[in-house]
Amino acid sequence: MTSHNNFNESSQTEPLIFERSSEGKTGVMLPPSGLDRIDATNIFPQDFMRGEIEDIPQVSEVEVVRHFTRLSRLNYSVDGGFYPLGSCTMKYNPKVNEEAAKLSGFTSSHPYQPQELSQGNLQLMYELQEMLGEISGLPYVTLQPAAGAHGEMAGMMMIRACHEARGNARSKVLIPDTAHGTNPATSALCGYHVIPVKSNERGVIDAGEIERLMDEEVAALMLTNPNTLGLFEENILEVANVVHNKGGLIYCDGANMNALMGIARPGDMGVDVLHINLHKTFSTPHGGGGPGSGPVCVTEELAPYLPFPLAEEKEGLYNLNHNRPDSIGKIKSFYGNFGILVRAYAYIKSMGGEGLERVSKTALVNANYIKERLRHHFDIPYDRPCMHECVLSDKKQTPYSVKTLDIAKRLIDYGFHPPTIYFPLVVQGAIMIEPTETEPRRAIDNFCDAMIGIANEARENPEILKMAPQNVNFRRLDEVKAARSPKLRWSKEG
C-alpha cells in the first residue's frame, strides 16, 4: 500500500500532556513580587473558591510548545490534503480573502459606532446583498443568519409569516427524501408537519408525485437542488408550477450553490426562498464549529418579512433600516457574522461573474471525472451525469463482506480524509464524494488510484480493509461505545 497524500508522512505517536508530566517541572519562573502572601479564603467567600487542581501536568515550556505543535500537525485540513467530504464543499480558500478580513478598518470597527462612521462596512454589506441577489435570481437579501440551518429557520419563518398574512398559516411542508437532513427539523420547529416525498427512479422528484401530495394545507415544498444524490432537479419548473397553483411556496436549500453559480439561478426556476452557505461556497475556512453565515434571498412578495436590519443606500449614503413592521424580527446581534461577509465579498469581487461560472463548471467536471474513473470498480446507483458531487455505493464489495465503513477507514491508511458515508439515506451503503473545483488533476487521480486499490483489496484481501486504519495513531474505534460512553476528559484511572 502506498500513501498518496502527504498527510501520513507527518504521522507520529503523541502521548497525552499528562503522560509527559514530571514532578517539579514548571513552564515559567516568576520573579518575587515583594508582597506578603495572603490567604485568599480570608478575602473571598468560600463558595467562590476553586479547589486544588489535581494532577495538573508539570512540564517545561518547550515541552508544551512541542506537544501542541505536534498535535496541530496531526490535524487533517484542506490546507494539508484532499478533503472529499460530500455535500460539505470543503474547498481551498484563497488566503488573500483572509487578509481582507483582517484589515484594521474592519477589525477595529465597533458595532455601536455611529452609522456615519461605518460607511465602509455598510457599503460592503449593501453591495454583498446586491451580488447575492444577482447570483441567486432572488433580489431581496438578509445577511443576518449565522449559518445554513439558521438561514433555513429564517426562511421558513418568513414563509409562515407570508401565509399568515394571506389568512392561513397552513400546516404541512413537503420534503423530498433527497433533501438535506436539517430541513425536516427546521419545518417542525416552525410548527409544520413534515410530509416526505419519494424521489423517482432517476433520483429526482416528479411533478406527478407533487400534484398527488399538494393541497391547500401545504405551506411549502422544501427541496435541495442539486439534491443530495448530486443530481439536478430536472423537473423543477413543472414542480414549481404545481406548488404555486395551490398557493404553496418553494424553499430551496442553497447549500449546493457551488454547482450552480453563473450557470443557473434558483430564482429563475420558481424558487421563492433560498439560503446560501457563505462558509461553503464563498471562501471561508469550513468546519470546527464556525463561524459561518447563511444569507437568505427571497422574492418581492416575501421581502417585507426579511429580518431587520437591512443595509440600504440613499443618495450615496448607507444605513441599516430597522423600521420594518412586517419583519419576522431580529435574529442575530449587530451585523451578523461580519468577518464572514468580508471574506465572501472579497471572493466574489476577485472572481467576477466569469470566475464564479468557471468555479462551478470545474467542480462539475471534477466530480464527473471521479465517477467515470471509478465506474468499473464501484456501484453507481444513479448512473447519470452528476453535478458537483457523485454518489457511489458498496454494492460491488458486499459479496466480499466489505462495507462502506471499511472503505472509508482504509482511505485513511492511503492518506485521505474519507468522503461522506451512509448519506444520502436513499442509497444503501452510500459513498458521497465532492472534489470541488480547487483540486488539481494529480490529487484527484491519486484519490481515484487509492479507491481502485481499495476495490482490488476488497476482492483479494478483505481482512485488510476490516482492520483499517492501521497506518495512523489511532486504530478503529468502537463506535457504539464511543457514542454511548464517551470519555470527554482525562482521568488518572483511564
The C-alpha R_g of the chain, in whole angstroms, comes to 26
Q: Mean pLDDT over residues 460-486, rounded?
A: 89
> Buried b vs exposed e over 121-143: b needs ≥16 C-beta within 10 Å?
bbbbbbbbbebbbbbbbbbbbbb
* DSSP structural state of residue 234: T
* pLDDT digits 0-9 by tens, 210-253: 999 999 999 999 999 999 999 999 999 999 999 999 999 999 99
Secondary structure element (H or E) that encloses residue 314, with its range: strand 310-314
Identify the pLDDT of residue 169: 95
Nearest to 283, CA basis, from 301, 308, 258, 302: 258
Kindly give the interhelix angle for 338-374 and 119-136, rounded to the nearest 10 degrees: 30
Identify the pLDDT of residue 5: 58
| pLDDT, greater one: 325 or 26 | 325
Identify the pLDDT of residue 475: 83
* DSSP structural state of residue 22: -
Q: β-strand 172-176 against 140-142: which pairing, if any?
A: unpaired
CA 387 from centre of chain: 17
How many helices (H) and strands (E) would you count in the chain? 14, 12
Q: Mean pLDDT over residues 3-13, rounded?
A: 54
| pLDDT, greater one: 267 or 13 | 267
Coil/strand/helix, residue 7: helix
* pLDDT digits 0-9 by tens, 443-469: 999 999 999 999 999 999 999 999 999
Q: With cut-offs at 50, 70 and 90, classify the pLDDT of residue 3.
A: low
* pLDDT digits 0-9 by tens, 361-382: 999 999 999 999 999 999 999 9
Residue 219 to residue 247: CA distance in whole angstroms: 8
pLDDT above 80 for 299 = yes
Q: Which long-range contacts (CB under 8 A, 24 or more apart) does 463-468 make?
A: 464/410, 465/402, 465/406, 465/407, 465/409, 465/410, 466/401, 466/402, 466/406, 468/406, 468/409, 468/410, 468/412, 468/413
pLDDT above 70 for 119 = yes
Find the range with the poorest average confidence among 67-71, 396-400, 403-407: 67-71
pLDDT above 50 for 206 = yes
Nearest to 174, CA basis, from 156, 161, 162, 157: 156
Residue 278 to residue 255: CA distance in whole angstroms: 9
142: cell is 438578509
Q: With cut-offs at 50, 70 and 90, classify the pLDDT of residue 404.
A: very high
Q: Mean pLDDT over residues 28-34, rounded?
A: 88
Output phi, psi for 84, to 5 deg: -85, 40
Output phi, psi for 11, to 5 deg: -65, 140
Identify the pLDDT of residue 86: 93
SS3 content of the chain, % helix, strand, coil (to 5): 40, 10, 50
Percent of the residues in the chain that have a pLDDT greater than 70, as a whole number:
97
Identify the pLDDT of residue 476: 87
Q: With cut-offs at 50, 70 and 90, classify the pLDDT of residue 9.
A: very low
Q: Mean pLDDT over residues 103-111, rounded?
A: 94
pLDDT above 90 for 487 = no
Q: With cut-offs at 50, 70 and 90, classify the pLDDT of residue 1.
A: low
Residue 234 to residue 379: CA distance in whole angstroms: 23
Strand partners, 254: 276
Q: β-strand 249-254 against 218-224: which pairing, if any?
A: parallel
Output phi, psi for 16, to 5 deg: -70, 155
The letter for the amino acid at 331 is: I
Residue 44 to residue 66: CA distance in whole angstroms: 37
Percent of the residues in the chain that have a pLDDT greater than 90, as a whole number:
80
pLDDT above 80 for 338 = yes
Enumerate residues 6+ apart whose C-beta is below 8 A from 289: none
Alpha-carbon distances of 326 from 219, 273, 304, rounded to whole Å: 19, 17, 6
428: cell is 444503501
pLDDT above 70 for 481 = yes
460: cell is 483479494
Q: What is the mean pLDDT of the chain?
A: 93
pLDDT above 50 for 107 = yes
Q: With cut-offs at 50, 70 and 90, classify the pLDDT of residue 38.
A: confident
> Buried b vs exposed e over 288-321: b needs ≥16 C-beta within 10 Å?
eeeebbbbbbbbeebbbbbbbbbbeeeeeebbbe
pLDDT above 70 for 176 = yes
CB atoms within 10 A of CB 12: 9
Identify the pLDDT of residue 54: 79
